[in-house]
Structure 1
Amino acid sequence: MAKVHPNVMPSPGEAAAAAAGPATEEATTLTVWRKSLLFNCKGFTVFDAKGNLAYRVDSYDAEPAGAEVVLMDPVGRPAFTVRRKRLSLAGEQWLVYAGEEARRPVHAVKRGGGKSVARVAPCAGGAGASYEVEGSYARRRCVVYDGQRRAVAEVQPKEAVGTDVFRLVVQPGVDVSLAMAVVVVLDQMFGRPSFLGSWSS
């Protein structure tokens, strides 16, 4: 099996650089492993192009329904929190909060229709962009488009390692942390089985 483990844990300064922010000069390629490095946890472990830990999601099996899913940087600082919300008539949506903020979501993600498998929209009062996700997350082949139909991120299969390890390629100028948060939501929508089981709010 291909190498899917991190190099030596970076210092806090290096960790901040590894968890790329909104702007980079070239595409950012991450290797996403659908597994937690913590014993008895489920989640994601994400590495940058140099093999350093970039993000992680850890969830204990015993977490109650309604638990939040936190996307963290290498040293455990929250980048985004994802929470699923059931809607009485409109199905369900996933709310994405900045850091651990639980009062005002910055984005809402819903299942799409037609070619679109998911739609990402800024929440009321938010200044973020809208995105459409097309393709197949189950096959690890999907593309995220912005409002001008530019491909801004892509989930790609990684050769010969199955669907639990794949690539996330994020174009310059796009928030890499948000792109990874969208992957967490896609896994909730289409993962078989979803790595966190059933959780809702």
Structure 2
Amino acid sequence: MAEPSQTAPSPTNSICIVGPQYCLPYPIDVGIVKKVMTISDGNFVVTDGNGNILFKVKGVLPTFIHERRVMMDAMGNPVVTLRRKFMTAHYRWQVFRGESTEQNDMLFSAKTSSILYLKTKLHVFLANNVTEDVCDFRVEGSWFDRSCVVYLGETSTVVAQMKRKHTVGSVLIGKDNYMVTVHPNIDYAFMVAVIVILDEINHTGRQS
């Protein structure tokens, strides 16, 4: 199977980061539920609009310099590994293919630009963007309102939107629920990984 593209093409083309199977020709609503009352914190379940499980995200015991999450498909196969780097100038996460954390398997990285005054701003760089002069994607919004928008680079082109989904269960059993609308031909696995990183940033309270 051909390796998916590592570039951010024009909005008329598919934006494929994790894999072509995650790029659909129509919008998809993805539900992300964080299970905060579990033995292992940082666990998520991701479903489609019909409640079918798309992904599960589980935490891995952290080391001195790294913290990790593994995102798996419904069958338990690793899709990507999210790794937080502690000893960096910026609050940064790196995302790798499968269970790898090797540099040549890195798909993208994300770092905070600003999380002051309840405003969230995240810059996302694809693996081949080594200079990081301009981000490939950016996330802006208010985490307090659970309202964030993902843009293509520094443009006004929207590729996904996230909002808080309130349910009785979210109040009673301590779950954070998010609904992400991913635009057509946009890699929804990539978008899920970005939202998980945003959640981690919010709950650690770190600032750039």
Tell me whether the two structures share a fold, i.e. TM-score over 0.5.
Answer: yes
- CA shift, 1:67, in A, is 4.2
CA separation of 1:78/1:47 partners in 2, compared to 1, >3 Å: closer, same or farther? same
Q: Partner of 1:183 in structure 2?
A: 195
- How does the TM-score come out when normalised to structure 1? 0.73
Amino acid paired to 1:154: Q
Structure 1 CA distance, aligned partners of 2:143 and 2:71? Answer: 19
2:56 aligned with 1:52? no
Query: Within 5 Å, which residues of 2 pair with 1:1-201?
Result: 21-35=21-35, 40-42=39-41, 43-59=43-59, 63-65=61-63, 66-88=66-88, 90-104=89-103, 105-113=106-114, 117-124=121-128, 130-147=136-153, 148-161=155-168, 164-191=176-203
Report the 3-state secondary structure (helix = DSSP H, G, I; strand = E; otherwise coil) of the residue aligned with 2:86: strand
Structure 1 CA distance, aligned partners of 2:62 and 2:87? Answer: 19
- CA shift, 1:22, in A, is 3.6
Conserved 8 A contact 1:36-1:45: no
- CA shift, 1:192, in A, is 6.2
Identity %: 28
- Deviation string 1:38-77 (CA, Å, 9 cap, x unpaired) is x6333101111111111111236xx233342111111111
Structure 1 CA distance, aligned partners of 2:87 and 2:67? Answer: 17
Structure 2 CA distance, aligned partners of 1:138 and 1:179? Answer: 20
Structure 1 unmatched runs, 5+: 1-18, 195-201
CA separation of 1:124/1:167 partners in 2, compared to 1, >3 Å: closer, same or farther? same
Structure 1 CA distance, aligned partners of 2:33 and 2:192? Answer: 12
How many residue pairs match? The answer is 170
Conserved 8 A contact 1:20-1:177: no
Structure 2 CA distance, aligned partners of 1:168 and 1:20? Answer: 19
Conserved 8 A contact 1:34-1:165: yes
Structure 2 unmatched runs, 5+: 1-18
Conserved 8 A contact 2:81-2:98: yes
- How does the TM-score come out when normalised to structure 2? 0.71
